[in-house]
Structure 1
Amino acid sequence: MANSYTLLANLRAGRCSNTAEVRLLRFWEARNINKGGELMSIEMLLIDEADTLVQGCVSAVHQRKFRERLAEGSVYTLSGFDVTRSKPKFKLSDGPVSIRFNEGTDFEKLAATARIIPTEHFRFRTHEQILELANTSRQLPDVIGEVRAIRSTITDRLPGAQRVMLTLRMESDVNVCVSLFDSLAVAFHTKLDGYGREPRIVLVTGINPKIVLGKLYLNGTSASRIFFDSETSAGRDRLERRDLWFIIYSRYFGSLYSIPFEAFSLLSSYRLPGGGADDTGSSSKVVHAQKIEPLTVAELNEFVLSAEPRIIEFLCTAKVTGIQLDDGWCYIGCSLCSRKLIREESSFTCPSCNETNAVAELKYRVAFSVSDPTGTSFFLGFDKEVTKLTNVLASEAAQIVGIGITAHVDTELPRTLDNIVGNTFTFQLKLTDFNFTANHQTFTISRMFAAPEIAPTPSFAETEEVPQSSASGSTGSREAAEEERFAMEESAHLTPTLKLKPRSRYSQTPSFLLYKSNCDHHSGSQSSVLREMVKTQEELARKATEVSSLRGHGLPTLSTAGSSSASKRSRKKKNG
């Protein structure tokens, strides 16, 4: 039996009949998003006593045989498996081989083991190394850092993908942004709600580094796991070092110059986050929501003329009246970072990627003329939002003819863009310092979605037949429209706590309704909405009773489907 035992580091390509003793660190489902989330395989990370990490795979064909046996953290004996070469992309281990389960694989859980097998293993990379991996999809490293901020769209109740953005400060005092989408974002919120307090250290595994518009994003994947504070030894070590630094700092009254020389060497490895200021007493940095205020077009134009420059977001519902073509509807951008390319004699140069022979790709840049009853303006939509709206890539709507300084687009305004004119949308607009300058011409769109149609309020009729269009404005449709409008106005982003006085509709400074985004608040808002709906139903029932009692006295009646039927019956009696 001893001769059949093997370490993971000794594996060679082919069928392996020897036995390995491994710990199952993590496992997850790999699904094909292009085929409706079809299950492709179950992926896992295995580690042995020599601290060798290998990625394992159970195909969808064999997943029923092994699925119920999988338990993260347990130790197994593994034999009769296939050893294959590691995939060149999305690697989660540094080894050259990976393991594939087959119909003859023996995978048995052990109640106890005499071998000392690590319970965790992480592949941290420096900020410089992560930058090198960006947009290559070669490696999915792990990241750990101190929480600086959390922004979320989970509480927005707006259409589109759910997203959580974590700002983490790494060991090198560099801030990075970790993006979690959809189910991973929901899982983060669930974990956060159950944790009961704000985490100080967050560790995220299996992130995919991407550079978008010159900014680094660490995107979560199906292999990502999230750990808070002391849930891992790596997090506990980081937390203890952070706490030790603050203890020493506070002991010497926060003055670096008063620290004795013998303590200076100890402090050199414990850097104060933020570059020297103790921010432990600062306000909470996570899970606080700020309502995005809706403004009319006139209020929006007035705000940039009278308010102080700042970065802020607003909602504005307006009708698209046209598309400005003075600067065209697209631009030739870099296929990697989307920045506008510089046209050389016979090539394109991307300053952002430092590439002198960049691959060109058409990107949307559409200036919409918009209006509402209060005024007109111009909203600028870029590639991501316009692609979502039209479901057509700019590179599919037109082609680039020529290269370098002779390059141009071979078509006029695409029909998909022309069809947008005349429709009403709710725009989420992001204002920056540039919008408060004299050069400001447009407002940049950060999100864009169809505006809800609010049903008309009931009208009153004098014993005449109610038109079918009026009767169709029933209570149910009106409540649905109000709920939709309520959801639209309750869209939120996470920001530090701030309390401002409410303003009147015509004041120049916007007000913000800030609230704690937690389970109690969420359930409370739901309960209040339900209570309002019940009150609405009771009020309608009471009014219906009053109308019924007054109907025989020739008094005006509410134009609902019920009153319409009553009017018809009274006419039939008179005609009879």
Structure 2
Amino acid sequence: MLLRSALTFATTSASKIYVNPEVEHVSSIRERFSVLPPAVVAIEGPSSAKLTPEEAMFVNRTIVGSLVRATCAGELQVDVVTLKATITAINNRFGWYYISCESCVKRATLHDGVFICNNCKQPIKYPLAMFCINLQVEDPTGTTTVVLLNSTTERLLDVSAKKLINKFPEGDTSVPLELQALVGKEFVYKLKLNKYNLVEGLQDYGVSAVYTPVEELEVAYEKNAQAQASQNRADCSSSSQMGGSNERKRKLSTVIEAVEAANEGGNGAP
């Protein structure tokens, strides 16, 4: 791709990059440029990107019920949360992929046999197929919808949308078996919330990463949550005994709500 007189490359998470492979023409080029200083500069990402998967899957952990209530009330205070839930269905009303512009990656529409970018308003020479999958997920506290976009889906399935599309006759938008196999599986989703969630209160939460739950870590997290819940109850009781106003209300954190919801479920509560 030629952009502003500079040669650039557009890749996806399914692309493979080979550094100095041992082939003849690469070896000759490497020898020719061996006297030049390296121009590779390491770019440090934000601190959140340095978290291990074991740490990242518990950042601002919430539950479906709390997330939906906070969204509807416009009370979300963070733009990144994690959610552990089970996929119960794939909503294919709008399809599981879309055709995008090669430059801005926005959705394109077919006009007279040519794809036109809805953003650039220009014909597209090399249209791209991009994943966009609406998943219905649930936990013991409720049901909501999360959206898997292209890069996240490619990492999860290790396949591109184009390869799956090629398995079907032209015009067939059936859900591939690779996607159907996700139904019934439990994952931890890192949700990147946007203005539609934070301001307009919509529940279609974009997924920026998917993790497989680790039982030992989940058990440790639950024990820590129970300890925190007990401590908060003790602090509340102590404040009440010291003459605090009976009208004072305590807003439970999502962690405490999760523990209480789990306890109610275990006691057979409706």
Name the residue aligned to 1:417: 179
Task: Tell me the TM-score normalized by structure 2.
Answer: 0.63
C-alpha distance in 1 between matches for 2:219 and 2:101:
38
Choose from 25, 29, 32 the match for 1:99: 32
Can you list the C-alpha shifts for 1:171-226, whole angstroms capped at 9, x where unaligned? Answer: xxxxxxxxxxxxxxxxxxxxxxxxxxxxxxxxxxxxxxxxxxxxxxxxxxxxxxxx
C-alpha distance in 1 between matches for 2:82 and 2:124:
40
- Helix, strand or coil at the partner of 2:68: helix
C-alpha distance in 2 between matches for 1:352 and 1:484:
47
Mind listing any 5+ residue stretches in structure 1 that lack a counterpart? 1-32, 42-56, 60-81, 88-97, 102-106, 108-119, 123-139, 160-288, 403-407, 455-480, 490-501, 512-576
C-alpha distance in 1 between matches for 2:61 and 2:127:
38
Name the residue aligned to 1:216: none
Contact 1:306–1:508 (CA<8 Å) still a contact in 2? no
Name the residue aligned to 1:40: 21
Amino acid at match of 1:356: P
Contact 1:310–1:433 (CA<8 Å) still a contact in 2? no
Mind listing any 5+ residue stretches in structure 2 that lack a counterpart? 1-14, 225-230, 234-249, 256-270
Name the residue aligned to 1:373: 140
C-alpha distance in 1 between matches for 2:167 and 2:177:
18
Amino acid at match of 1:384: S
- Helix, strand or coil at the partner of 1:300: helix
C-alpha distance in 2 between matches for 1:417 and 1:383:
13
Which has more strand, going by share of residues? 1
Amino acid at match of 2:83: C
- Pairing 1:507–2:251 present: yes
C-alpha distance in 1 between matches for 2:94 and 2:118:
22
Q: After the TM superposition, which residues 370-519 of structure 1 pair with which residues of structure 2 at under 5 Å, given as runs?
A: 370-399=137-166, 409-437=171-199, 440-452=202-214, 454=215, 481-482=216-217, 507=251
Q: Which has the greater radius of gyration?
A: 1
C-alpha distance in 2 between matches for 1:415 and 1:323:
12
Contact 2:74–2:201 (CA<8 Å) still a contact in 1? no
Can you list the C-alpha shifts for 1:313-360, whole angstroms capped at 9, x where unaligned? Answer: 111100101101111111111234422113322311225556423422
Choose from 130, 150, 169 the match for 1:363: 130
- How much has 1:302 moved relative to structure 2? 1.3
C-alpha distance in 1 between matches for 2:177 and 2:112:
32
C-alpha distance in 2 between matches for 1:100 and 1:321:
55
Task: Tell me the TM-score normalized by structure 1.
Answer: 0.32
C-alpha distance in 2 between matches for 1:319 and 1:380:
14
How has the CA–CA distance of structure 1 residues 331 and 319 changed in structure 2, closer, same or farther, with 3 Å as cutoff?
A: same
Amino acid at match of 1:415: L
How has the CA–CA distance of structure 1 residues 39 and 347 changed in structure 2, closer, same or farther, with 3 Å as cutoff?
A: closer
Choose from 45, 59, 82 the match for 1:292: 59
Name the residue aligned to 1:158: 53
C-alpha distance in 2 between matches for 1:371 and 1:483:
17
How has the CA–CA distance of structure 1 residues 417 and 121 changed in structure 2, closer, same or farther, with 3 Å as cutoff?
A: closer
Can you list the C-alpha shifts for 1:399-458, whole angstroms capped at 9, x where unaligned? Answer: 4999xxxxx743411000000001000011112221145561411111111112x3xxxx
Q: Which deviates more, 317-326 or 433-442?
A: 433-442
Choose from 298, 317, 338 the match for 2:105: 338
- Helix, strand or coil at the partner of 2:62: coil
- Pairing 1:315–2:210 present: no
Q: After the TM superposition, which residues 20-59 of structure 1 pair with which residues of structure 2 at under 5 Å, given as runs?
A: 34=16, 40=21, 59=27
- Helix, strand or coil at the partner of 2:147: strand
How has the CA–CA distance of structure 1 residues 373 and 330 changed in structure 2, closer, same or farther, with 3 Å as cutoff?
A: same
C-alpha distance in 2 between matches for 1:143 and 1:424:
36
How has the CA–CA distance of structure 1 residues 399 and 508 changed in structure 2, closer, same or farther, with 3 Å as cutoff?
A: farther
Contact 2:85–2:137 (CA<8 Å) still a contact in 1? yes
Amino acid at match of 2:49: T
Name the residue aligned to 2:244: none
Amino acid at match of 1:153: A
Contact 1:307–1:509 (CA<8 Å) still a contact in 2? no
Can you list the C-alpha shifts for 1:541-560, whole angstroms capped at 9, x where unaligned? Answer: xxxxxxxxxxxxxxxxxxxx
- Helix, strand or coil at the partner of 2:53: coil
- The structure, 1 or 2, with the larger RCO (C-alpha pairs under 8 Å, 6+ apart) is 2
C-alpha distance in 2 between matches for 1:390 and 1:151:
27
How has the CA–CA distance of structure 1 residues 150 and 38 changed in structure 2, closer, same or farther, with 3 Å as cutoff?
A: closer
Instruction: State the number of aligned residues.
Output: 213
Name the residue aligned to 2:261: none
- Helix, strand or coil at the partner of 1:317: strand
C-alpha distance in 1 between matches for 2:252 and 2:195:
17
Q: After the TM superposition, which residues 190-209 of structure 1 pair with which residues of structure 2 at under 5 Å, given as runs?
A: none
C-alpha distance in 1 between matches for 2:183 and 2:97:
17
Contact 2:73–2:201 (CA<8 Å) still a contact in 1? no
- How much has 1:141 moved relative to structure 2? 9.0
Name the residue aligned to 1:325: 92
Contact 2:63–2:254 (CA<8 Å) still a contact in 1? no
- Helix, strand or coil at the partner of 1:153: helix
C-alpha distance in 2 between matches for 1:294 and 1:392:
29
- Helix, strand or coil at the partner of 1:392: coil
Identity %: 20
